[in-house]
Amino acid sequence: MDVGAASHGVAGPRDRDAQPGRRFGAVTAARYALAAWLRQGQMDTVVMESTGVYGMPLCEGLEERGFAVKRVAPHAVRQVPGRKTDVEDCQWG
């Protein structure tokens, strides 16, 4: 998951959704929709590329809904070769 101020890019396993990469807004209703999409795809662990304040509400909301959330530093993810966009970035894992 790539966390941003205005939106969050999320990718799931290709075999669980016809559109495995999606973008959700950062407002509360969009975060609820994101959690519902993850749950529908039977995902229970989320890796977030975020260390700043934008990821805090999302992280807390997902943890409250029973997801295991792992936060990674963007600097570490940038070292992975071949990524070009935020959507490709969140699909990498």
β 68-72/45-49 pair status: parallel
Contact between residue 38 and residue 17 where contact means Cβ atoms under 8 Å apart: no
| Cα dist from 57 to 2, 27, 61, 62, whole Å | 14, 10, 6, 9
Taking only the tens place, the pLDDT of each residue in 46-67 is 988 877 788 899 999 999 999 9
For residue 93, what pLDDT is reported?
A: 46
The pLDDT value given to residue 12 = 84
What gap in Å lies between CA 9 and CA 89, rounded to an integer?
A: 9
Longest dimension (CA), the chain: 34
Break the chain into its structural domains and give their ranges.
2-84
In terms of residues, how long is the chain?
Answer: 93
The helix-helix angle for 55-64 and 28-40 (nearest 10°) equals 50
Structure confidence at residue 34 (pLDDT): 95
User: How many angstroms separate the CA atoms of 31 and 39, rounded?
Assistant: 12
Q: What is the pTM of this model?
A: 0.77
Which residue stretches of the chain have pLDDT < 70? 75-93
Give residue 82's pLDDT: 57
